[in-house]
Structure 1
Amino acid sequence: MRAYRLLTGEDTSAFCHKVTKAMAQGWELYGSPQYAFDPKAGVMRCAQAVIKVVPGDYDPDRRLGDL
């Protein structure tokens, strides 16, 4: 099964660490990062999709972050 996650957060080093940690756990980048300005909070927000091939079938109760 191929698992998919969309990592999101403010454009800070914490977001970069989140993506780096996912890659260290075997997730691979999927597509380009996306950025958007959040006018209400006055900050840039980031998103990066990641995928990972894992054994087993899809289970909606499985936490993707634990894969």
Structure 2
Amino acid sequence: MLIYRFLTGEDDSSFCHKVTKALSEGWQLYGSPTYAYDAVSKKMKAGQAVTRNAKDQPYDPDRKLVDY
């Protein structure tokens, strides 16, 4: 089963660390990163989709994706 997550956060080093942590846990980048300006906080926001293959596990909507 292919699991999909979309990581978001301010466009700063903490976002890069979030993506790097996901990659170190076996997630793979899916597509290009996205950027948007948040007019309320007056900061750029970033997003990156990641996927991971979880073999021999049925999907459970009550389970956290990071637990697969």
TM-score normalised by the shorter chain: which range applies?
over 0.9
Query: Following TM superposition, by how much is the alpha carbon of 1:66 offset from its aligned partner in structure 2, in angstroms?
Result: 2.4
Stretches (4+) displaced over 4 A: none
Task: Find the counterpart in structure 2 of residue 39 from structure 1.
Answer: 39
TM, length-normalised to structure 1: 0.96
Report the secondary structure of 1:20's partner residue.
Answer: helix
1:1-67 to structure 2, matched below 5 A, reads: 1-55=1-55, 56-67=57-68
- Give the 3-state SS of the residue equivalent to 1:4 in structure 2: strand
Count, aligned residues: 67
Alignment TM-score, normalising by the size of structure 2: 0.95
How far apart, in 1, do the equivalents of 2:62 and 2:19 lie?
23
Report the CA distance between 1:65 and its aligned residue: 1.9
Query: What letter matches 1:8 in structure 2?
Result: T
Structure 2 unaligned residues grouped into runs of 5+: none
Coordinate RMSD, CA, aligned: 0.7
